[in-house]
Chain A
Amino acid sequence: MRVRLTDIAHARSGDKGDTANVGVIALRPEWYPLLSQHLTRDRVAQHFEGIIEGGVDRFELPNLKALNFLLHGALDGGGTLSLKTDAQGKVFSTALLRMELDVPDAEARALGLPAAT
C-alpha cells in the first residue's frame, strides 16, 4: 500500500549555517518503528537529490517518536548569504513529508495506516 508521509507524521525544520534540519515526528507512537525503518539516511538523501549539495546525517529519538535529519549544503550558504526564499530552511519539513512509502498491505492494515488517495 502507498502511504504518504504527511498522513502519518508531522515535522518542523530549521537551520544552522548552511545545514537545514528536519525533525520528523510520528503522528501515533505505534507508527514510529515504521518511520524508523523506511526513513533511512539513503532514502532521505535520494529524496533531496539535486535539491541539497551535501550529505545527510540521521539521528533517532525514540523517546520523542522522532527522527532528526541534517541536510548539509541545503541553503545556498545559509543565513545572510543565501539568495533562496527559504534561506532558513523553514519548509524543508513539508518537502520531506511529500515522500510516499510502500508498506506491505498486511502491515499497513495492522497499523491502521491511511492509504494515499
Chain B
Amino acid sequence: MSRVVRVAGGQGFWGDWPEAPRRQVEGGPVDYLMLDYLAEVTMSILQKQKERDATMGYARDFVGAMESVLSAVAERGVKVIANAGGVNPEACAAAVRAMAVKAGRPEALRIGIVTGDNLLPRIDELLAMGHELRNMDTGEPLSVVRDRVIAANAYIGSTPIVEALAQGANVVITGRSTDTALTMAPLRHEFGWGAAEWDKLAAGIIAGHIIECGAQSSGGNCLHDWRNIPALADVGYPIVEGSADGTFVVTKHAGTGGRVSVPTVTEQLVYEMGDPHAYITPDVVADFTSIQLEDAGADRVRVFGITGAPATDKLKVSIAYKSGYKAVGSLVYAWPDALEKAQVADRVLRERLDRLGLKFEKVLSEFVGASATHGRLAGDAGRAAPEVQYRIGVRDADKKKVERFTREIVPLVLNGPPSVTGFAGGRPKVEEIVAYWPALVDKSVVQTQVEVR
C-alpha cells in the first residue's frame, strides 16, 4: 500500500469545540493537526485587540489547544499548522513558547512563523503605486473608505508553510493564510508536489475545503438523514488520508460519533460555494465539477479525479473598515394571537421613532417563530403559535440616533400590547460595525517571510 499522510481538522473557526484538537491527536494515528481560526471579520477584531495591547492580536484559544496536544507533538511527532497568528504571529508564537516552557518542554517545539500578509502599514504606499484595491463586489476604489480602514491582510497560500516545514518546523503559525492552504501545504511538503502540479494542488485545496469547517463534513450541521447521525455528543472531526497522486480518503477516528459519507461530504463541498468551475486560491484554481466521490467503507469516502488550472497573478485582500453603528433588541409575545401582538408592537415602536424624528439608514423588523428566516415562504403562523419573538434592529452612521433607539424597546413591556416577556437583557447594546471590503492585489507586491525558531 502506498504511503498516506493523515491531516486532521481540529478547529473550524475561532470558538469551535475546545475538546476537538486533543481528541484528534489521541483518537488514532495522525501526522498533522490543522486548526483554522480565521473568518472574514476575525482579523479586524484582532487588530483592535493589538491596538489596545501590542502583545495581543492572535487567536488566544490556540495556546490552550497547543497545551492540550503538547505531548503528542513532543512524543509522537504530530505537527500542527494553524492560522492562529492573526495580526500578530510573533506574539502568538511567544505565547505558545511560554506555555511550553511552563510545561517543562521548551525543547519540544520548533515554531515556524509566517508573516508578510499584513498590508495595513502599506496601504498608502500601495494606493500611491496605483493599486486601487477596488471592492470586488461594488467596484468602488478603496480611497472612498481609506480613513476608516482598520485592517488589511492578503490571503496567502501554501508556499511559506511548505518552507517552514522544510526548515524543520513542527508547529507553523500563520496570519491570514487561506483556510485551505493549511491542509494542502503539509500534503505538498510530504509528497514534494511542484508549484505547477495543478491537479494535485487542487486536490490538496479541496481536501482542505472538506475539513476546514471541522465537524461540518463529519455529521455536524448535516441535513441529510440528520435524525440518524449517531452520537453527535461524541462527534469525530474529519481526517484526510492523502496519497502522493492527489487522491485522498475522508474519514474520522474509529469509535467516535458523527458520520462520514458521500452525503455528509457533499454538503460540505457545496458550503460557501461560488462558481464551482473556478475556486480561486493563491496556489491554484480548483474545479469542483471534477470531484468524484465514492463510498469506501464505514465512515470512509474516497475522493479522486480532481483537476486544477494555473493560479492567477492576484491575491485576494481582506480589508476591514468602520461602517457606522447598529443595535438589535427583542421582546417575546405569548399566545393567544402572539404574532398579531408582536406586529402591533412593531407599529407602535415605529410610530414613536417617527415622532422622535429618528430616521435610520435601515430598520429591520423580524418575527421569530413566524417568518424571521423564511419570510413569506413560511406561510401563515396563524393564531396558534405559542409565542413569537419580536426582533427589531437599526443601522446608522450616527451613534446617538442608534443609542436613542435602544431606549424605545423595553418601555413596550408596560405601554404596548399585552402578554409580553423576555426582556431580561434590558436595553440592547450599540455595536460599532466593522465591515468587510474584499479586493485584489498583484501577487508581486506581497512578500512573505518565514522564520523557524
Report which A residues bind B (CB closer than 8 A). Answer: 10-18, 21, 23, 25, 27, 47, 50-51, 57, 59-66, 68, 70, 76-81, 83-86, 91, 93-95, 98
Contacts and interface: CB of A to CB of B under 8 A. Distances in A.
B267 A23 contact: yes
A77 B137 CA distance: 11
Contacts of B393: 83
A10 B224 CA distance: 6
B83 to A, nearest CB: 19
A18 B323 CA distance: 15
Interface stretch (B30-38, B94-102, B104-112, B284-292): B284-292
B366 A84 contact: yes
Given A11-B223, A23-B267, A25-B270, A61 B276 contact: yes
User: Main secondary structure on chain A at its contact with chain B?
Assistant: mixed
A64 B277 CA distance: 13
List 5 tightest A-B contacts by C-beta distance, closest first: A23-B270, A83-B393, A14-B272, A83-B364, A10-B224
B92 to A, nearest CB: 24
Interface stretch (B16-24, B168-176, B345-353, B371-379): B371-379
Contacts of A85: 366, 368, 372-373, 391
Given A63-B292, A83-B394, A51 B366 contact: no
B267 A50 contact: no
A21 B433 CA distance: 23
Nearest to A60: B289
A66 B262 CA distance: 12
Given A10-B263, A25-B263, A98-B374, A66 B434 contact: no
Contact of B374 (A64, A81, A83, A91): A91
B266 interface: yes
A10 B222 CA distance: 9
B434 A64 contact: no
Contacts of A21: 270-274
Interface of B: 40-41, 137, 221, 223-224, 263, 266-277, 288-293, 305, 323, 326, 328, 362, 364, 366, 368, 372-377, 391, 393-395, 433-436, 438
Contacts of B267: 10-12, 23, 25
Contacts of B221: 12
Nearest to A99: B377
Contact of B362 (A15, A25, A70, A76): A76
Nearest to B290: A63
Given A85-B372, A95-B373, A64 B272 contact: no
Contact of A23 (B271, B305, B364, B374): B271
B263 to A, nearest CB: 7
Contacts of A17: 137, 436, 438
Given A14-B271, A68-B273, A80-B436, A63 B377 contact: no
A25 B266 contact: yes
A77 B323 CA distance: 11
B375 A51 contact: yes
Contacts of B275: 57, 59
A66 B266 contact: yes
Contacts of A95: 373-375, 377
Given A60-B289, A64-B288, 10 more contacts: A23-B267, A25-B270, A50-B375, A51-B377, A64-B266, A64-B291, A84-B364, A86-B372, A94-B374, A98-B374
B223 A93 contact: yes
18 contacts: A12-B223, A17-B438, A21-B273, A23-B273, A25-B224, A25-B267, A59-B273, A62-B289, A63-B292, A65-B266, A76-B364, A83-B393, A83-B394, A85-B366, A85-B368, A91-B373, A95-B377, A98-B377
